Every structure is written in C-alpha cells, then in structure tokens.
Amino acid sequence: MRPLPATGIVLLLLGLTALGWRVAAPGGAGSPGLVDDRAGLLSAAERRRLATYHAWLREHHGIDYRVVVDRGLDDLDRFAVEYVERHGVGGENGRGLLLVLDPAANQVRLEVGYGLEGRFSDAFVAYLQARQMTEFFAVDRVADGIQASTELIIAQAGGDAVPAIAGSGGAGARLPARMGEGRAAPGDERVAVEEGAPPREVLATYRQAMAARNDNPELEIYSRATRDMLADWVMTPAQMDNVAKSLAACSVVDERRSREGRRAVLLAAPNARRCPPYFLVRQDGAWRLDLAAMHRAVRFGPGNRWRLAPEALDAYAFAFEEVVRGP
C-alpha cells in the first residue's frame, strides 16, 4: 500500500506534507484535474498538495474527489450537478465528491454522489463545512481548510464515525463560506488542576477541555512552547472533538519519566497504534503538556496510526529507546 502523505497531526490537528509522486488527472485528456482553481486563489504548490491527498483518497477508498474554485457561479447547486454530469465525477458508481467554492458569492458546496450518500449525509457534510472547513476560510487559509476537511472525509470513509449536525440525509450541503470574516477571539475559560497534579491528571483535564471545545491557547496545562504554538493555530471545533474522542478511547498504561524527573511520556498499550504518546514537561513547578514537542516528533499514517520522527524527539528520546535504537 502506498503510504498516506506524512502528517504532523498532533492531537489530530493539521500539518500535512505532500508525497513526491505524480498525480494523474482523472477523466482523460482535456478533463480538469483534481483541483480546478479558475479564480487563482491557490498557489501551484497548494494545488499540487491538495491533488496528491485527493489522489490518495481515490486510490485507497475509490472516491473521486475534486475541487472547483471560481467566481460568479450564481447557483452553486445547479453548477455542481452539471459539473458532475459533464466531467463524470465519481464514474458509473457515483462515488464522487465535488467541492465548489465561489469566493465572490461567499458560498461553498460539497456535492455528494449517489454512491456515497449512505456514508456522507447532509448532516456530516454540514459538520465538515461549518466546524472545520470554513474556520480556515475565515482567516484566508483556503488550501488548509480544504485539506483539513479532506482528513475528515478520509476518517469517515475509513469507518471512523465523525460527528454530524442534525439535518436531512440528502446528498450535499451549501453554506456560507465565511471568506475573510476573521478569526473569532479565543475563549478565556480556564481549567483547574490541583497543585502537584500528576501527568495523568493533566492529560485528563486536557480531554475535558477539548470535550468542552475550550480553545483558550493560554491554558495553564500547556507548556510555554505550546502556548506560543497555539497562539497562531486555527483550533476548530472539529479538531477539538477529534482530540476528545481520541483521548476518551485511549487508556494510559505506561508512564515514563526522564532521569532528572523534568519530562514524562504517557503511553497507551503497544498495539493501540491510534493512541499517540503524550509529552509533558515540568515548568514553574507543575506538569504541563508539551504539544509543541509532540508536533515535531509524532506523525500519523494510514488509519491514524502514529509513528515517530526519531530525529525530532530531542529530550523525549528516553521514552522510546527501544524504538530509536532498535532490537
């Protein structure tokens, strides 16, 4: 199996890098490619990156996912239907997805082929767009918003139940794109952790914060480097939902501390490859989550199975000596 583009999804957040393999445009000569940007909104590098990820989705899940960005489309619903028919999106089995973005009209629609309606309902599509995609569009990060949504599509295609917004069970949804409206100010809600709380309690508090969609980047449970990283992060409701879901499903079975006692790593069972290790550091007399170090060292592949970038482990290599050194 060709691997999924390597990710830096710390806590299921975004940080994708493209593979170095060529992407063929579906549909034969003269057909638009996987990413058809007629408005010039995306850079060439962004188009290639998105096309690579969508090609992986087509190869491993049989889903023909295409993107059209254009201005002055008027009726997005009609345009999407006609585009699907004209270019054969999804083929005879109707396993196609078409994302249409009209930045001038500030509208976005994800058209779902009949062969995928059972998996991608309107309720799921509305969640994907409102809780993930448009959060990025609001801060003018269009490519990141499309890419972040593709991750949810891959999770849904692979059988991971992604939350949904109540609605009909139809085949697509059109919503305001929220282009450039600006990022909402993060909340200032605090979390309470008793003085001297052990690493496991800090992690449990983090899960509760994510379940409550607490996007405050200054939580006391975060290390200083983590606060700096999250200050510029687009922390979407969908990302926080995914973190809470992951942590609820992952039990810590092993805690490893560095020799000097300043760092700790919490690990799930060795065969629970979808449960990443969590890094903590003692700062100002308390244990704090070092998500910045995790972002550098933890990667995810197919099925959200984690792996390490040993060269980026730095001070946390003590917890993975059997992995870094090998047998």
pLDDT in tens, 216-255: 999 999 999 999 999 888 889 999 999 999 999 999 999 9
pLDDT of residue 154: 87
Count of alpha carbons within 13 angstroms of residue 275, beta-carbon side: 18
CATH 3.10.310.50 range(s) for the chain read 10-176
101's tokens: 């973005």
Q: Which residue has the higher pLDDT, 74 or 204?
A: 204
CB 112 within 8 A of CB 172: yes
Question: Taking residues 270-295, what's their average pLDDT?
Answer: 94
CB 162 within 8 A of CB 244: no
DSSP for residue 39:
S
**Within a 10 A sphere around the Cβ of 139, how many other Cβ atoms?**
18
Residue with tokens 């969590």: 278
Residue 305 one-letter amino acid: R
pLDDT of residue 291: 97
CB 245 within 8 A of CB 170: no
Taking the domain 10-176, which CATH number applies?
3.10.310.50
pLDDT band at 9 (very low <50, low <70, confident <90, very high): very low
26's tokens: 């579906």
CB 207 within 8 A of CB 247: yes
- Tens digits of residue pLDDT in 128-182: 999 999 999 999 999 999 999 998 898 888 877 667 665 433 445 778 888 887 7
- Tens digits of residue pLDDT in 72-108: 998 999 999 999 999 999 999 999 999 999 999 999 9
Long-range contacts formed by 245-252: CB under 8 A, 24+ apart: 246/11, 246/12, 246/274, 246/275, 246/276, 247/203, 247/206, 247/207, 247/210, 248/207, 248/211, 249/274, 249/275, 250/274, 250/275, 251/275, 252/200, 252/203
Q: Kindly state the helix (H) or strand (E) to which residue 57 belongs, with its residue range.
A: helix 44-61
